[in-house]
Every structure is written in C-alpha cells, then in structure tokens.
Structure 1
Amino acid sequence: MHPAPSVIVFTVLSGLGFGFLAYLGAGLVVPPAGWAAFLVWGLGYGFAVVGLLASVFHLGNPKNAIRAFSQWRTSWLSREGIFSVLTLLILAPVALFEIFGGFPLATLGWPGALLALVTVFCTSMIYAQLKTVPRWNQWLTPVMFMTFALTGGAILSGFNVLSILLCVVLTAVLVAIFNVGDKRLADSGSTMETATGLGKIGKVRLYEGPHTGTNYLMDEMIYVVGRRHAQKLRVIAVAFAAILPALVMLIAPEGSLFGIALALIFHLTGAAAARWLFFAEAEHVVGLYYGAR
C-alpha cells in the first residue's frame, strides 16, 4: 500500500507518546514538581497529540473527523479516537497534581496508563483486522505496535536496563514480522483465480489491464517496493530502532539526558523506516485482479 507520510507520523509518534504516558501514569516516572514535571508530561502529551493530529490530515475530509467517534461499535478507528481522548482527559489531573503538587495521583494514574496501552492496541487493530491485507492480518501486528510503544516509552523514561531488554524483544518481533509477513499472502490462499472467480476454468493470467489509466485502487492499494531496497530498509529499521538504542543505553549513565536523546533519535529513525515498510510491503489482495502480485 502507498505509505502516506501522515499515517507514518501518526502511528510512530502517537505510539511513542501513549507508551511514555503509560509509564508516567503508572507512577514509574516521578519527575520533580514544577517546570521539570511540566516538561516531562509535555513530552508525553506532545508526541501523542501531534501523532493524533497527523492522522486527521490522512482523512479525505478532515472536517468529518468528529464523525469517526460515532462508529465505536464496529470501527477500531473510532475506538482508538475515544480511548485516546479518555486517556488524555484522565491523565490531565495526574499531570497537574505532579506539576503543582509535587506528588502523583495514583488513583487516576493506573487507569490512565491502562487506557494509554488500550489506545495503542486499538491503533494496531485498525490494520490487524483487515483480511484484505494478509501481511497485517496476524497476531504479530498488535505485538509489534505494543512493543514499539513500550520500548520508546522506556527509552524516553531513561530506564537503561528495561530499554535494553525491550530492544532485544523488539529485534525479535521485527525479524519475526518481516519473515512471517513475506509468507502471509501465499498462505492466505488468495490468487488471481480467486480474485477473478475464474479458477474453475483453469489457470488465469492477465492479458490486458482492466482499464487503460490508473485509478484510486492502483494509486493507494498497489505499491511495489524492490526486494533489494526492502532488505536494506529492514536492516536499517532493526539497527536504528533496537540495536543502536540498546548500545547507547548500555554505555550511557542512568538518566543521562544526552544518552536518552541520542537513543530516542536512533529509535525514531528506525521506527519510521519500519513503519514505512509496514505500509509499503502490505500486499492488498485487490492487486491480484490487476496482476500486480
């Protein structure tokens, strides 16, 4: 599928923001009161809100974004929107108490932390539920989103040991999702024969395209990335999202701002590469009808 920049920014930054807010809400990160607490909470809210705003620009008509909240019974996108707002509202008094009172409000903190992770899960299910994209339609998709959120949150929290452990887990998850994902389309049983409904006659091959020009489906749902190019990006994704941040957190002193900033820059670079591949390598089954798979 076509990897739109807005949806990459949305999934990467919102995941990082809500992951960090989960650590803050759970009381695992207790900054000093005043400006320090304001800056720490501001980072969490900033990443989360900027990510959510980026998702609005991915809509065909951003003015209709409010309508997405009404479809919570059937839409994971709607559920994500509702849980994200609930998370930000519930954690707001927790942040204010830490900023002005100097102590965490644990009663609302833990539910807020849980809702932050539920929000990330809902984001992952927007893609994992799609049977038309076999690469996404698997249990590793939500695992990857959750692991990215927890890893990024741990790095931003300055937890060296936890960050290293989660980076190891993230490496394994990325390698697994790349390898398993490559087989998903073939394992799904979807072929040109099933796409055209002509399988009973025999083997089907494309003689001519369905039409002479391009259309929305071809522009958005059929995106082919070269295998050599994809392999390089996979190495970059794993190296920058997990390996390099782990090395930085291993060397840097506990709580070092420089170490946290450097590890976070590496992690976000790798996360962006991994998320670009997540969309670029997604084979929508409609491509079979056009002979593009």
Structure 2
Amino acid sequence: MHPAPSLILFSSLTGLGLGLLAWLAVLGLASPPLWALGLVLAGAGFLASTRHLRRPSRAILAFTQWRTSWLSREAILAILALATLTLHGALLILRDQSPALLGALAAAIALTTVLATSMIYAQLRSVPRWHHWSTPALFLALGLAGGALLAAPRPVALAFLATALVLQLLHWHQGRTAFARAGSTLSTATGLKGEVRSFAPPHTGPNYLLREMVHVVARRRAAQLRLLTILLAFALPALLLVPDLRLLAAATHLAGVLCSRWLFFAEAEHTVGLYYGAR
C-alpha cells in the first residue's frame, strides 16, 4: 500500500507519546518536561492523522461509528486517554501525589488506544500481512519500548527493546508468506471458477485504488530499510542507554520506528492488486 506520511507520523508519534505517558502514569513520576513531551508527541500524532482525511473538517464524524469501527473507537479512547493522563499528570506535578488507581486507569486507556490504532490495520483480511496477531503486539511493544527509554529503569528499557526487536523480526518473517497463506488469487477475488487470467486492467489510467492500495517496493530497498530499522530502533538506543543518553536514545528509536512504519505500509499487499496484475 502507499506509505502516506500522515499515517506514518500518526502511528509512530502517538505510539511513542502514549507509551511514555503510560510509563509516567504507572511509575508516578512528577517530571513536567516528560509529561509535556508525551502530550506533545501524542497530540501531534493525532493531528497528523487528520491530514489523511480528504475533508479534515469532517473528522468529528469519526466519533460516531464506535459500534463497528476501530478508527472510531480509537478516536474516543484518545480523548479519554489524554484527559485522564493530563489530570493524573497535573495532580502529580502540582500536588506531588495522585491516586495510584487513576494512574493505572490512565495508563490502561493509553495502551488500549495504541491497541485500537493497531486493530485498524490488523482487522483487514484484505491485507494478509497485517491480519496477524503480531501487528497489535508490535504496536504495543514499540510504544512501550520507546516510552521506557525515557522513563523506565535501564534494565526494564533494555528488556522492552529486546521484546520489541523479537516481535519486529517475527512480523517481518510472517509477512513474507502471508499473502500466499491467505490463498487469495484472481479466481477467489472475482468469484470465478477455474484458472482466471486478466485480459485488461480495470482502468486505463491512474485512480484512487492504484494510488492508495497498490505500491511496489524494491527488495533491495526493503532490505536496507530493515537493517536501518534494527540499527536505529534497537541497537543504537541500547548502546546509548549505557551512558544514560536517554533523549538521544529515544530520538534514535523514533527514527527507526519511522523506517519500520514506512515498510509496514509499503510492503502491505492489498488483494485489490490482483485486479491490476500486482501479484
């Protein structure tokens, strides 16, 4: 699929921001700079998501379909998460204390918001690479690992980095054969029996489906980005934790997550590509 910059920024920034805020809430840390950073990252991510809407003024409609839409659930959870996290953070900073139950609730809503974001993609059977339990697991692990780099004790941060790395490698591995395992072919896509071949593409010129759903990334470029992801998102942050350069470690990690998220979208194969000979 087409790797839209708005979606890459949205999913990466909100994951890091909410992950950081969840750690701050659970640990009860009264650090104004870290609370401000977490809220800015999460807020910037959610604002970036509106750039993918053709009419951003209608973003309010995203709150109305919570019964059936993970996007709608995510929008509602985001408001609840930012509200409870802001309240908990304000109490910690201004009064030096806040109910532990409020912190646990705020952290739980924040992580549920990250989960809802991941489910927007994991629910799609038409994109086999995403339709796997490793998608929500990876989103949560990356958010928690990034937040741990800034707020958690060093051994905890290293443990979450290692966990996120394992899930990242697993997600890449299962994604290589996901489309083949799904059994999607031009025959199943059209509902026709026997061997089906495309006589001509459905459209003679560029269109929305080709622009948004069909994207081909060179294998060499993908391999380079995977290596860059491992170095930036996991290896370098772990090394930077030794001299306790946490801000630099988190910034490097975020750069690696951006690479990972670009691949997440660019390598995703939508079944609509079958109609255009993309398989």
TM-score for the superposition, normalised by structure 2: 0.96
Structure 1 residue matching 2:270: 3-state secondary structure: coil
Per-residue CA deviation, residues 13-63 of structure 1 (Å, 9 max, x unaligned), is 00011111111111x1523xxxxx322211111111111111111111101
Structure 2 residue matching 1:201: 3-state secondary structure: coil
Kept in 2, the 8 Å contact 1:134–1:188? The answer is yes
- 1:208 deviates by 2.6
Kept in 2, the 8 Å contact 1:30–1:104? The answer is no
Q: 2:188 aligns with which of 190, 194, 201?
A: 194
- The residue that corresponds to 1:24 in the other structure is 24
Q: 1:273 aligns with which of 252, 256, 259?
A: 259
- The residue that corresponds to 1:34 in the other structure is none
- The residue that corresponds to 1:262 in the other structure is 248
Q: 1:241 aligns with which of 225, 233, 242?
A: 233
Kept in 2, the 8 Å contact 1:205–1:291? The answer is no
Q: For 1:129 and 1:138, how far apart are their aligned partners in 2?
A: 8
Say whether 1:214 aligns with 2:173.
no
- 1:162 deviates by 1.1
Q: For 1:287 and 1:30, how far apart are their aligned partners in 2?
A: 48
- The residue that corresponds to 2:273 in the other structure is 287
Q: For 2:66 and 2:152, how far apart are their aligned partners in 1?
A: 35
- 1:73 deviates by 0.4
Q: 1:58 aligns with which of 47, 52, 55?
A: 52
Per-residue CA deviation, residues 100-126 of structure 1 (Å, 9 max, x unaligned), is 112233231111111011000000000
- Alignment size in residue pairs: 279
Q: For 2:99 and 2:33, how far apart are their aligned partners in 1?
A: 18
- 1:5 deviates by 0.5
Kept in 2, the 8 Å contact 1:98–1:105? The answer is no
- The residue that corresponds to 1:2 in the other structure is 2
- 1:239 deviates by 1.7
Structure 1 residue matching 2:64: 3-state secondary structure: helix
- 1:4 deviates by 0.6
Say whether 1:13 aligns with 2:13.
yes
Kept in 2, the 8 Å contact 1:76–1:126? The answer is yes
Q: For 2:52 and 2:273, how far apart are their aligned partners in 1?
A: 22
Q: 1:164 aligns with which of 158, 163, 166?
A: 158
Kept in 2, the 8 Å contact 1:167–1:242? The answer is yes
Indicate how the Cα distance of structure 1 residues 12 and 122 shifts in structure 2: closer, same or farther if over 3 A, else same. Answer: same
- The residue that corresponds to 1:136 in the other structure is 130
- 1:211 deviates by 2.4
Structure 2 residue matching 1:71: 3-state secondary structure: coil
Kept in 2, the 8 Å contact 1:68–1:78? The answer is yes
Per-residue CA deviation, residues 143-188 of structure 1 (Å, 9 max, x unaligned), is 0000001100100215211111111111111111111011110000
Q: For 2:126 and 2:79, how far apart are their aligned partners in 1?
A: 29
Say whether 1:48 aligns with 2:34.
no
User: Given residue 178 of structure 1, which amino acid in structure 2 is its aligned partner?
Assistant: W
Kept in 2, the 8 Å contact 1:19–1:150? The answer is yes
Q: Any runs of at least 4 consecutive aligned residues in structure 1 with deviations exceeding 6 A, and if so which? A: none
1:83-102 matched pairs, under 5 angstroms: 83-102=77-96
- The residue that corresponds to 2:222 in the other structure is 230
- The residue that corresponds to 2:174 in the other structure is 180
Identity of aligned residues (%): 48
Kept in 1, the 8 Å contact 2:73–2:116? The answer is yes
Structure 2 residue matching 1:206: 3-state secondary structure: coil
User: Given residue 266 of structure 1, which amino acid in structure 2 is its aligned partner?
Assistant: T
TM-score for the superposition, normalised by structure 1: 0.92
